[in-house]
Amino acid sequence: MKLTVLVDNNTLIDRYFFAEPGLSFLLEDSGTRVLFDTGYSDIFLKNARKMGLSLLDLDYLALSHGHLDHSWGLEPLIRLFMEAGIERLPGRSPILVAHPLAFESKKIEGIGEIGSLFTPKKLSEHFRLQLSSTPFWLSERLVFLGEIPGNFAFEAGAAVGYVKDSEGNKIPDLLRDDTALVYRAEAGLVIITGCSHSGICNITEYAKEVCGDSRVLDIVGGFHLLEPSEERMSGTLEYLKKLDPECLHACHCTDLNSKIELSKVCRLKEVGVGLQLEYF
């Protein structure tokens, strides 16, 4: 399986791509092509074009959760498919895989909308929808996890803004839609995350359960360690030290101090737009 970083907060040195606070990966596994998240804008399309990668023949579009830095690229992606149709270019509409709550309107007081710009009904006019809170296999070795159980008290999620219930009441948004992908490589699991609002340790434990494998080769993506509490940081470090993955590719929503701490217990590697990783 090949993983290409199309969007991250950073680019690799001497690689002339665009970056933004967001995330988008292209996964290619034995003929199955999956776009994981779309970032905030259209730069995932610009970067893919610079790399010579077409996004017109995707099998799946998988979303980690509904926040703007992972889903607002949906609009330029829809335009891409529409314009390709006008020009009669070969391509196909992918199946959109997400948690059923990923397209709720999510808001923060004083800021406004930070969630999806599209409803499932509108998206169904452009994609075939597969909304699932349970694991869904994208290929023989690649799985969308669905809703992540909470096993670790130190990762109890703090609300990010609010959603509204059917009566219009504001409910703190605990990001139940936050999920991840897992690839079953020969040497162990590769866990691919968006933001890890549900907790990187919770995600990893569930990945091991779903895949029936306790070996973790790599974790790639956001760890949601932004000025974490001492309890969360120490709990995460203790867990990862025992887990002993071959390496970590922490990026996006992982701050510098957290990366420094992670590097003390694991082999931490650099991430940026243009990075390509291969797993067998």
pLDDT for 244 equals: 97
The predicted model scores a pTM of 0.97
**Averaged pLDDT, 6-10:** 98
Largest CA distance in the chain: 55
Q: Where along the chain do its domains lie?
A: 1-276
DSSP result, 83-127:
HHHHTT----PPEEEE-TTTTS--EETTTEE-S-SS-HHHHTTTS
User: 243: left (phi > 0), else alpha (psi -120 to 50), else beta?
Assistant: alpha
**Superfamily (CATH) of domain 1-276:** Ribonuclease Z/Hydroxyacylglutathione hydrolase-like (3.60.15.10)
Contacts 24+ apart (CB under 8 A), 80-83: 80/45, 80/55, 80/56, 81/56, 81/126
Q: pLDDT of 107-128, one tens digit each?
A: 999 999 999 999 999 999 999 9
Reported confidence tier of residue 166, pLDDT bands at 50, 70, 90: confident
Q: pLDDT of 231-276, one tens digit each?
A: 999 999 999 999 999 999 999 999 999 999 999 999 999 999 999 9
pLDDT for 268 equals: 98
Tokens for 192, please give them: 């691919």
